[in-house]
A = this chain, B = another copy of it.
Amino acid sequence: MVKPSGKTKRDAKTGILDAADEIFVRRGIDGARMQEIADHAGVNKALLHYYFRSKADLARAVWLRIASSFVPGIFQMMASDLPLDDKIDRFVEAYHAKLMRHPYLLAYVVNEAARHPEIVGDFLSAERRRAARRMIRKLRAQIADRTKAKRVAPLSAEQFLVTLAASCLFPFAARPMIASLLGLGPKAVDAFMEQRRKDLPAFLKRAIR
């Protein structure tokens, strides 16, 4: 049996994945053209179909890569023994850093998840589902400690997590609308986001104080 060089192969395949990543995220799956991906990767279009049978296949591969970089690391941190306040700080920080560098990413994720809900499940292996449950359980315990100590109305860990994610992520998804409604230029919006990164943790902690 002949062993392929391995290096060349991986280079071409990951090169295609990188190009597809960029184009799919920028244009959306429907808006992306296989030819543009091929050009961007510096490869013949037929090669895309050689490594990935169809456009849908390629899109799925890209989706899995992106989802893997988006969720597991941060969710593991959220399941750890860190104090709740530190978790909030790190959550805000992590997504702020990631989304500042990939402005189209969230619109892509939201859009494709809404129109092809099945791919969301594709990404969630049994192990990842368990990890999510662990995280929720841990958060629930930490929040219960807090609300009990301070005599505050009880708060569902799920709801808090969603609010945390919403507060961090949504502004990036809604960036153009925020800019228009507040009358801010690109630099001013960046400043607004930076301000937000600093203020948001305190705001959220106050709500569960």
Contacts and interface: CB of A to CB of B under 8 A. Distances in A.
Nearest to A181: B132
A132 to B, nearest CB: 5
Q: State the majority secondary structure of interface residues on A.
A: helix
A165 interface: yes
Interface residues of A, number: 60
A25 to B, nearest CB: 10
A155 B203 contact: yes
List the number of copies, as a whole number.
Answer: 2
Contact of A156 (B120, B159, B195, B206): B195
A113 B174 contact: yes
B107 A114 contact: yes
Contacts of A177: 109, 113, 120
A176 B114 contact: yes
A159 B124 contact: no
Interface in A164-182: 165-167, 169-171, 173-182
